[in-house]
Structure 1
Amino acid sequence: MFAPAPRDPDRTLDPHLQDLALTDMTDAYLESLQILERMHRLMLDLVKDEFERLHKGDLTPVQAMILYNLGEAEVSAGELRSRGMYQGSNVSYNLKKLVTMGYVHHERCDMDRRSVRVRLTPEGQAVREMVRQLFIRHAQGLASSGVLEDPPLDQVNLQSRRIERFWTEQIRYIY
């Protein structure tokens, strides 16, 4: 983690230069938002293409990502929603479909009968493994091409987590 260099209080930047720096950072931030949205859409397209290749047409990419993000855990629908990005989707509706198709097992909580806990069935685990293998192949291809090295992906992830934390704080501040 890099700490910013200490500022010399006796040296102030020209206000025009400060405005240019802020504009450059704002432009870069807005571009990163567009890239993030495009990457999410592309990821769903990659999952869709993989499932078509495997003749697994009964699932949508969003449903496959729900299965992937559910993993080995047993969680509520609310917990699952907070774990993943389900653009334009209704998690409850998709969970109901996944239960009907046999990919997810659901069970009402003994303590709160309104709450439902979900976990993967063996069929759901198989789908999760398909998505995991797809992502592993992509990681290997990106690593061998050097794409993940400059800047190092762990630094990109660190910055993304900081932005995620900022956004979360903004949402909490509103409510």
Structure 2
Amino acid sequence: MQKLLREGVEVETSIDGYDAADFPEITAEKQGHRHPVHTVVVTHFELARMIERVNRRFASLLRTEMTKLGIEDVGPAQAMVLMAIGDVELSVGELLDRGHYVGSNISYYLKQLADGGYIDRVASQRDKRSARIRLTEKGEQLCANLRNAGGAYNRVLARDADDLRNLEIAFQTLHRLELVWGNAARYGI
């Protein structure tokens, strides 16, 4: 991981989902040599850019699915907040720990979700200044609909055991990046 953050690593990538093997005329595979279609030096900056692009693509996908469901009063960011809340009751602080929200953004998102009837805000029994948040039936239904829609994408991504293992590795790698970058931001390298 340290090498990855300091030096970068060359990886073979594909273009638009096609592998170099899909284009034998542009590879030297017939001569026993295989040249990658595209080589990228992976640095922590490239990883961050990729994560941002993937996040934008996912937000676009969520927006499309929500449009199909007839949901127009909240957007993908608010839907992700609902998914982060899940089936538990939690505080705003706990919600902040579950996602990548800025404090002012989460307040705005929660207001929209409460106004739309997707969440209930209940004063904490211990500290009346603090609110607990939970999904309403409407919020639970939207989450269930989005999970159902996501099933088709899961089947595309995980067609077999190798695909499933690759997704697990990607998740573990992203989790390690989160820990390394978070600790580096707090404590330095």
Given that 1:98 and 1:104 are in contact with CA atoms closer than 8 Å, whether structure 2 keeps it comes out as: yes
1:77-156 to structure 2, matched below 5 A, reads 77-86=92-101, 90-144=105-159, 148=163, 152-156=166-170
User: 1:90 aligns to what SS in structure 2?
Assistant: helix
SS of the residue 2:163 aligns to: coil
- Structure 1 unaligned blocks of 5 or more: 1-17
The 1:87/1:37 distance shift into structure 2, 3 A limit, reads farther
Q: Offset at 1:146?
A: 8.3
Number of aligned residue pairs: 154
Query: Shift in Å at residue 24 of structure 1?
Result: 3.6
Q: Which has the higher contact order (CA 8 A, sep 6+)?
A: 1
Cα distance in structure 1, aligned partners of 2:82 and 2:177: 26
Question: 1:33 — aligned with what?
Answer: 48
Q: Report the equivalent of 2:175.
A: 161
Whether the 8 Å CA contact 1:62–1:89 is kept in 2: the answer is no
Which structure has the highest strand share of the two? 2
Which shows bigger deviation, 131-140 or 62-71? 131-140
Aligned in 2, Cα 1:42/1:146: closer, same or farther, shift over 3 Å?
Answer: farther
Secondary structure of the equivalent of 1:107? Answer: strand
Contact kept, 8 Å, 1:44 with 1:62, in 2: the verdict is yes
Give the Cα separation in 1 of the matches to 2:42 and 2:103. 26
TM superposition score normalised by structure 1: 0.77
% identical equivalent positions: 32
Between the aligned partners of 2:144 and 2:49, the Cα distance in structure 1 is 29
Q: Could you tell me whether the CA contact under 8 Å between 1:76 and 1:118 is conserved in 2?
A: yes
Preserved CA contact (<8 Å) 1:104 1:119? yes
What residue number does 2:7 align with? 22
CA separation in 1, counterparts of 2:111 and 2:127?
Answer: 19
Distance 1:161 1:67, change over 3 A: same
| Contact 2:96/2:103 (8 A) holds in 1 | no
Deviations 1:22-77, CA, capped at 9 Å, x for gaps: 25479413322211100101111101011112221111111111111110011111
CA separation in 2, counterparts of 1:132 and 1:89? 27
1:171 corresponds to 2:185 = yes
| Whole-Å separation in 2 of the counterparts to 1:50 and 1:143 | 20
Q: 1:49 aligns with which of 54, 64, 67?
A: 64
Distance in 2, Cα, partners of 1:101 & 1:39: 28
Is the 1:68–1:131 Cα contact (8 Å) retained in structure 2?
no
User: Deviation above 6 Å: which 4+ runs of structure 1?
Assistant: none
Return 5+ residue gaps in structure 2 as ranges. 11-39
CA distance in 2, matches of 1:98, 1:32: 32
Contact 2:158 2:167 in 1 (8 A): no
Worse-superposed segment, 56-65 or 82-91: 82-91
What RMSD in Å do the two structures reach over aligned CA positions?
2.7
